[in-house]
Structure 1
Amino acid sequence: MVESSAGWTEGTVEVDGHKVFYRESDPVDGALPIVHVHGFAISGAYLMPTARLLARRATNLVPDLPGYGKSDNWEYTLGIPALALALLKILDGLGLDKVVLVGNSMGCPISLEVAHAAPERVDRIVLVSPAGGVHNQGLGRAVRQLAIDGARENRRMAKVAVPDYLRFGPVNTFHLFSEMTRFPSLERLVKSPVPTLAVIGSKDPLMPPPVRVREVSRLASDHTTVALIEGAAHAINFSHPGELSHVIGSWLDGIDIVDDPDSPGLTRVLQLPRS
């Protein structure tokens, strides 16, 4: 392990003969670790603004999943179920018995898969801008949504994302993007076996319209909460870290989620109709 910045170290853990890179904040006693799960074709670097703020309350870990960022390349593209299994092996390698998962975009279906496969390992899940499902189909439509989102994101995001996208490559992109758009994230959220918080942005073109969110939410259990951050697009973890960390912290503490006046964006909890 090497120190990367104040309060953070970097290291690797082996998964099926491949090195997986991760970032870890200083230990915090008495709190379950928070593990951040990045999105499609990108490393965990863009999740760091939110992770740094949450490091005040718990140990935070930000891995680059196998084949991404600073982790070793694999001989083939890992799909969502395989990435979920790899994440479980990362937790094993780091000696983490139970964690809180915070996923963004494709990291949301991966987190949901982990919770369904091993609910005893996951205390809670936070799904930030969950991607996948009918609203992201077909492939051309999803590409257009990504193009729209790119124009709405913080300009500094490109400096993080573009090198990662280029490293991931077009072949991996095609195989995994097609699978991600078919993954029924909202429907899987309905059956989440652990308490779940979904955080969505009002300017996120990859999210279905509010009527669809409410339609699906009618089937959700009482342990599901949905919060909306006005003005945020898809990469909320990068663009609105103060507001997002405030929402996550409030939810973990079991207190009302209200707007953080010191952060960009305006948060409100959606009142979910129940069946």
Structure 2
Amino acid sequence: MTRTKTRIPFGELHVLDKRHGIEVRTGGDGERAFALVHGIGASSVYFGPLAHELARHARVYLLELPGHGRNLEPRRALSMAEFAETAWGAFDRLGEGHPAVVGHSMGCQVAVEMGIQRPGPEPIALLAPTVNTAEHSVVMQGLRLAQDTLRESGGVNRIITNDYFRCGARWWLKTLRSMMEHRIEERIGHLDRKVLLVGGEKDPIAPPAWLQTLASLCRAAEVAIVEGEPHVMMYHRPAEVAQFLLEQGTSG
């Protein structure tokens, strides 16, 4: 896969509400808009290659959720629905009403709640969604995370390790509890729009069979499996993932 050599610059913008801080970086231009929501402990950095691919054709918003990246830790743990409300608050201040929401890992749980809170025409895209009901325990998720780390590239592992360090163990553990309490399999059927599910063939955290299970619970769904890739498939195969997201458009 050939990476794009032209890097489209992303600016930085801090958006504050009364309770939390949330950072949003923007780039690209076009009629369509995509909002990228990262996973637990992470930041938007690992979305970089995908963001640049999408920004060739659309406006792209990279979110940093409360307590992640450079944002201060909230006073208490937030539920997935509260993360979603905070994200929508940021878009209200940006004047961006209905971007296509793209979540990764735990960000998929936030994305589902965003879609439920505000119906719209664009599909909801879920990249490697958590938490697999067949292994719904902290122990199993920890084992799968360790297994996936061995399958990821050094570049991805460095990015995520740095993000986890900035996030801190206390907020990571608080968010983990909220992540495990949220049942995406019970919530995804409430979406009134098409759902795009993308996974890595070798992802032990969100394996292809789990994506098919979620697809069966949706009103309308499309599934794409990226051959040979683990959990952070969009970092190594950004053009392939971007093409799938762009081709789906507002259909379904």
Q: TM-score, normalised by structure 2?
A: 0.89
Q: Does 1:200 align with 2:195?
A: no
Distance 1:93 1:230 in 2: 39
CA contact (8 A) 1:157 1:238 kept: yes
CA contact (8 A) 2:43 2:68 kept: yes
1:69-84 correspondence runs (5 A): 69-84=69-84
| 3-state DSSP of counterpart to 1:21 | strand
CA contact (8 A) 2:70 2:166 kept: no
Name which of 205, 218, 221 aligns with 1:220. 218
Q: Does 1:230 align with 2:227?
A: yes
CA contact (8 A) 1:133 1:183 kept: no
Q: Over residues 142-201 of structure 1, what are the superposed CA-to-partner deviations in whole Å (9 max), with x where a residue is unaligned?
A: 100000011111210122111210121222222221332343224433332112101111
Q: Over residues 14-52 of structure 1, what are the superposed CA-to-partner deviations in whole Å (9 max), with x where a residue is unaligned?
A: 122543222111332xx2211100011111111111011
Distance 2:213 2:92 in 1: 37
Q: 1:115 to 1:57 in 2, by over 3 A?
A: same
- Structure of larger gyration radius: 1
Task: Specify the code of the residue in structure 1 equivalent to 2:247.
Answer: S
CA contact (8 A) 2:42 2:164 kept: yes
The equivalent residue for 1:245 is 242
Q: 1:234 to 1:100 in 2, by over 3 A?
A: same
The equivalent residue for 2:96 is 96
The equivalent residue for 2:67 is 67
Shift of residue 133, structure 1, vs aligned partner = 4.2
**Identity, % of aligned positions:** 26
| 3-state DSSP of counterpart to 2:65 | coil
Q: 1:219 to 1:80 in 2, by over 3 A?
A: closer
CA contact (8 A) 1:47 1:238 kept: yes
Shift of residue 84, structure 1, vs aligned partner = 0.8
Q: How many residues align?
A: 246
Shift of residue 138, structure 1, vs aligned partner = 1.3
| 3-state DSSP of counterpart to 1:23 | strand
CA contact (8 A) 1:149 1:233 kept: yes
Distance 2:81 2:230 in 1: 26
Distance 2:213 2:69 in 1: 37
Q: 1:160 to 1:84 in 2, by over 3 A?
A: same
5+ residue gaps, structure 2: 1-6
Q: CA RMSD in A?
A: 2.1
1:24-173 correspondence runs (5 A): 24-28=26-30, 31-120=31-120, 123-173=122-172
| 3-state DSSP of counterpart to 1:36 | strand
Distance 2:173 2:217 in 1: 32
5+ residue gaps, structure 1: 255-275
Name which of 13, 32, 54 aligns with 1:11. 13
Q: Which has the higher helix share?
A: 2
| 3-state DSSP of counterpart to 1:225 | strand
CA contact (8 A) 2:115 2:191 kept: yes
Task: Specify the code of the residue in structure 2 equivalent to 1:112.
Answer: V
| 3-state DSSP of counterpart to 1:119 | coil
Moved more, 242-251 or 71-80: 71-80
Task: Specify the code of the residue in structure 2 equivalent to 1:48.
Answer: G
CA contact (8 A) 1:135 1:206 kept: no
Shift of residue 6, structure 1, vs aligned partner = 4.4
Q: TM-score, normalised by structure 1?
A: 0.82
Q: Over residues 68-113 of structure 1, what are the superposed CA-to-partner deviations in whole Å (9 max), with x where a residue is unaligned?
A: 1022332223221110111111111111111101110011010100
Distance 1:115 1:241 in 2: 23
Q: 1:136 to 1:183 in 2, by over 3 A?
A: farther
Moved more, 174-183 or 197-206: 174-183
